[in-house]
Structure 1
Amino acid sequence: MPENEETTEQVATEPQQPEAAPEAEQAKTDPWADPEAARKEIEKLRREAAKYRTKAGELEPLAKKAKELEDAQKSEQERLTEQLRVAEDRAKVVQQRAVRAEVRALAAAEFADPDDAHAFLSLDDFVGDDGDIDTDGIRKELGALLKRKPHLAKPVDNSPRSPRPDRTQGSSGNGNRSSSDPGAIFAGIMDQALKGR
């Protein structure tokens, strides 16, 4: 029996609230508790929904037009972006050609094959932010390249040079060689014609 006493004590210590109070309080905050209030709330919500549908119907053509303009502007922007990318690529190619030509020109004096010079150098390093070519930097790098790879330099030839061939010598050395100058040929013909008289 002591167990029953504890239960009664626990029930007695809990505060007693009337059960009608929560329903009345709920009716004040919850419009669905009262059917008349629920009907009024439904009508109110229907009017609001109709108003928003009307407004959405009015704004739909404007939204469609704004979307079309955005798409047109986007495609125009994409087209311009593509043109810019192509122009930048073209400018880079021309710039690389100019640097390569400058490297060849500067390497021609010391390199056996000037094309070897630009093959061993990074051409992008010689273009400034303003697009100018750094010729002093190219000269320094070419000198350093020749120190690292001396086999790229022109061969040093200290041997005596052989004479160049003389075309007047050879099979026509007997004096019967005719000149290829038309005036000399005509003069020879005239000279023979006058001697023959």
Structure 2
Amino acid sequence: MPENEETVQVETEPQGTEPAPEAEQASTDPWADPAAARKEIEKLRKESAGWRTKYQETKPLAQKAKELEDAKKSDQERLTEQLTAAEKRIQSVQQRAVRSEVKALAAAEFADPEDAHAFLDLTSYVDDDGDIHTDAIQQDLKELLKRKPHLAKPTDTSPRAPKTDRTQGSSGNGSRTPNDPANVFADFMKQGLARGH
């Protein structure tokens, strides 16, 4: 070998780690000893069987809890539907009451009180407590008559002359048939007068 060449020494174990003694490994690792491993396996099997038993025991309870929760949800849904239906009925009754109030207040000035509620927003006259604001209705009716005066009662209340009906009387009927009640009556009168003379 030449003197200039360096010899390289190869280490087979990494530096800084010490090999663990076998006795220490055996005490912490149950799988190193077959007898200890069997004991550990039996222990884990018993533990697993216990957990399976507990699971089987609690499974019906979990199912009952789920059923109760579902029943509770359906009760809530049923109650929600009932509440919605009741609110709709209340709104309907309130609207009828407002409509009646509008008609009653409009009867004095409107030609047809039915027309008054057709032009008004009836929902705006009921507050959260269900009270009807008649002052607001009267104000809106006055404004409605200003905008649409043709809805008001006519100011001329004098009696009107009846329209002529040309179908009444002899001038409108033209020629009469022999079975016409007027002809029959006229013949009856003529016969009665002829007998009395």
Shift of 1:19: 7.2
1:140-171 CA deviation, whole Å, 9 max, x = no partner? 11122222x2334325434753468xxxxxx9
Measure, in 1, the Cα distance between the counterparts of 2:59 and 2:157.
Answer: 92
Per the alignment, do residues 153 and 64 of structure 1 end up closer, same or farther by CA in structure 2, a change over 3 Å counting? same
Give the equivalent residue in structure 1 for 2:151.
Answer: 153
Query: After superposition, what is the alpha-carbon deviation per residue over 1:94-145, rounded to whole angstroms, capped at 9, x for unaligned?
Result: 1111111111111121222222221221111111211121111111111222
C-alpha separation between the residues in 1 aligned to 2:93 and 2:27? Answer: 81
Matches within 5 A, 1:21-40: 34=32
Residue 76 of structure 2 is matched in structure 1 by 77
**Aligned partners of 1:127 and 1:133 also within 8 Å:** yes
Change in Cα spacing, 1:53 to 1:156, as seen in structure 2 (3 Å) is: same
Taking structure 1 as the reference length, the TM-score comes to 0.59
On the 8 A contact 1:116/1:152 being kept in 2, the answer is no
- Percent of matched pairs sharing the same residue: 59
- Map 1:35-114; keep pairs closer than 5 Å: 42-114=41-113
Q: Which runs of 5+ in 2 are unaligned?
A: 1-7, 9-13, 163-168, 170-197
Equivalent-residue separation in structure 1 for 2:132 and 2:157 (angstroms): 39
Relative to structure 1, the CA distance from residue 48 to residue 20 in structure 2 (aligned partners, 3 Å threshold; closer, same or farther) is same
Query: What's the Cα RMSD here?
Result: 3.7
- The one-letter code of the counterpart of 1:120 is F
